[in-house]
Amino acid sequence: MPLPSVICFGEILWDFLPDGIFPGGAPFNVGYHLHQLGVPTHIVSAVGQDVLGDELKRRLEVWGLPVDAITRPRALPTGFVRATLGANGDAHYEIMPGVAWDAIDVSEPTLAHAAAAGAIIYGSLAQRSRHNRTALTRLLAALPSSAWRVFDVNLRAPYDDLALVRELAGQATLLKLNHEEAARLIGERAQAAQGEAHARTLAAETGANTIVITAGAAGAGLLRAGEWHWEKSLSIQVMDTVGAGDAFLAALVAHLLQGASAPASLAHACRLGEWVASQRGATPAHPAAPPTPS
């Protein structure tokens, strides 16, 4: 039986890294990895009518990703982010304002895709514009009641309005965030060891029945149907962490859609996230045999 499709709503842009420029944006990265994992994916975003927008669309077409839900506002340029890397490969971002993905339009064909989707993935960054919040509301209303509503929290200053994040979390059935973001949302100290307690607090406060908290080299945890599952990270040589969390989320959603158990889905997610962290950029081509739990 074919897998249901996934809608990825939000930013698509160029990551300007010290050693080159790469396609990026969290929702796009998730969509890329879902596609690599064989999940039908529709990326709902916007690029400018410029050479950077032309090249982003060309890349997606080469990869076999549909571009019909990517609009091109006339007056706004394609987005980009300047990323700097720390000594341990961690990325820090300077995000350009007033770009095409601040004005994502949702067409009737896109709403028809949403009406048959098995999941939607949306992040917090693209909600910095009121225009996009309206577009997201339309997509959420079009989804089947059984579809996963996956909110990927990315608290990037100055676009880290906690009141807005809590509002968006209240519409989700699956909430994914790192342990520092979880602690900020509930007003406590960031401690990886407190993942389960923070997940249970967030579940009670938001109503989301599935909470995923990542903790970098320590591992990641998943609260599902009241049960907490933890997967330790494997030791790897980190190239950079750009897109590793997005690959993690793609693998998690792909396996949940396939009906895999919570522990198995979490383990597959950790392995893919680790593998991407060992590669350059957010969208490396997957190996012939994808990373699997050992």
- pLDDT per position as a tens digit, 157-186: 899 999 999 999 999 999 999 999 999 999
Question: What pLDDT is stored for residue 83 in this prediction?
Answer: 78
Question: What pLDDT is stored for residue 13 in this prediction?
Answer: 96
49-74 per-position pLDDT tens digit: 999 999 999 999 999 999 999 999 99
Q: Is the pLDDT score of 91 beyond 80?
A: no
Q: Is the pLDDT score of 118 beyond 90?
A: yes
Class level of CATH domain 26-45+105-277: alpha beta
Question: What pLDDT is stored for residue 241 in this prediction?
Answer: 85
Q: Is the pLDDT score of 193 beyond 70?
A: no
How large is the average pLDDT for residues 255-274? 97
User: In three state form, how does the secondary structure of the chain look?
Assistant: CCCCCEEEECCCEEEEECCEEEEECHHHHHHHHHHHCCCCEEEEEECCCCHHHHHHHHHHHHHCCCCCCEECCCCCCCEEEEEEECCCCCEEEEECCCCHHHCCCCCHHHHHHHHCCCEEEEECHHHHCHHHHHHHHHHHHHCCCCCEEEEECCCECCECCHHHHHHHHCCCCEEEEEHHHHHHHHCCCCCHHHHHHHHHHHHHHHCCCEEEEECHHHEEEEEECCEEEEEECCCCCCCCCCCHHHHHHHHHHHHHHCCCCHHHHHHHHHHHHHHHHCCCCCCCCCCCCCCCCC
Q: Is the pLDDT score of 95 beyond 70?
A: yes
- Domain residue spans of the chain: 26-45+105-277
Decide which of 19 and 115 is more confident.
Answer: 115
